[in-house]
Amino acid sequence: MAWDTIRCLRFWSGDTHADAVADNAAQDAVYAEIVEKTFDPKLLLSALTQAVSERRVTMWSPVDKEQDLIESFNADGALPASDKKTDRVGVYFQENVGSKMNYYLNQAVSPGQAACRADGKASYRIGVDLTNGIPLDAAKSVSPSILGTFDREKLKPGVQRLIVMVYAPSGSQIVGATVNGAAVQLVLFHDTDYPVAKLVLTMNSGATSKLSVDAVAAGTAKKMLAAQVTPMVNPTAITNVPLDCASVATQ
């Protein structure tokens, strides 16, 4: 109900202060109606359970017993842990325009691996495709509260910009990255034992940005490769794909 109703608010046809006030007032009315119709204890518990299972709600407590309970429900937002059979990567999205345009965003993540190195360590590639499906006439057809602070960010209405953080498996090494097929320089970070690549992608209306991050596994054991991804409005397609050694960085 919420998204369908909010979509109906896209009556924006000007740029006056009065229009913005009316737009916000209409949204407030919708949100009030949603709260009134959904604040049922059973429904609330069901929604919270779903939100936790989808990693949309995470928790932390400084009290050990409480934190243990949170972890028992997998609600602690832990980073992806690898094991003897599977190496896990994290792909995390952060909207960077102060908008609600993620409704129009479609994501696909494609982990791939191959045996390309003389030392026996697997070569990994984490591919990410992001497509901006917002209407080309977003400036006229989409509410300014959806479009966010594009003017302050010196962007055209409807342009989406995301920070993408790729966490390679703990102990591995990130060795390269591309955006739309072109190699890019990375400023590498670490979060505990996880190497992290940070990239910023900007997408015009109707455009797709493709990035890939290459990494070398920590050990020589043959493992599956899996991905943990930020939960978004639209489901993220996660598909393991073959990796061509001819395209892999070997350092």
Asked if residue 77 is part of any domain, the answer here is no
| Cα–Cα separations (whole angstroms), residue 186 to 104, 124, 183, 190, 199 | 28, 17, 9, 13, 8
DSSP label of 100: -
pLDDT in 10s for each residue of the chain, 251 residues: 444 443 444 444 445 455 677 778 888 888 888 777 767 788 888 888 999 999 999 999 999 999 999 999 999 999 999 999 999 999 999 999 999 999 999 999 999 999 999 999 999 999 999 999 999 999 999 999 899 999 999 999 999 999 999 999 999 999 999 999 999 998 889 999 999 999 999 999 999 999 999 999 999 999 999 999 999 999 999 999 999 999 886 54
Residue 92: helix, strand or coil by DSSP?
strand
Q: Report the C-alpha dihedral over residues 198, 112, 243, 114, rounded to 10 degrees.
A: 110
**Nearest-angstrom CA–CA distance, 17 and 21:** 6
Asked if residue 65 is part of any domain, the answer here is no
Asked if residue 61 is part of any domain, the answer here is no
Q: Which domain holds residue 148?
A: 82-245
Strands of the chain, DSSP E:
86-95, 105-114, 123-132, 160-167, 173-179, 182-183, 188-191, 194-203, 208-216, 224-229, 237-238, 241-242
Asked if residue 41 is part of any domain, the answer here is no
**Nearest-angstrom CA–CA distance, 77 and 87:** 18
**Nearest-angstrom CA–CA distance, 33 and 40:** 13
pLDDT at res. 34: 78
Asked if residue 55 is part of any domain, the answer here is no
Q: Where are the alpha helices (DSSP H) in the chain?
A: 2-7, 17-38, 41-53, 64-72, 138-141, 144-147
Give the pTM.
Answer: 0.82
Q: Indicate the residue type of 160.
A: Q
CB 227 within 8 A of CB 135: no
Asked if residue 31 is part of any domain, the answer here is no
Asked if residue 38 is part of any domain, the answer here is no
Instruction: Report the number of distinct structural domains present in the chain.
Output: 1
Q: Indicate the residue type of 93.
A: F
pLDDT at res. 18: 58
Asked if residue 34 is part of any domain, the answer here is no
Q: Which residues are paired to 126 by β-bridges? A: 111, 213
pLDDT at res. 109: 98
Rg (C-alpha) for the chain, rounded Å, is: 21
**DSSP-derived pairing of the beta strands 105-114 and 241-242:** parallel
CATH number at residue 191: 2.60.40
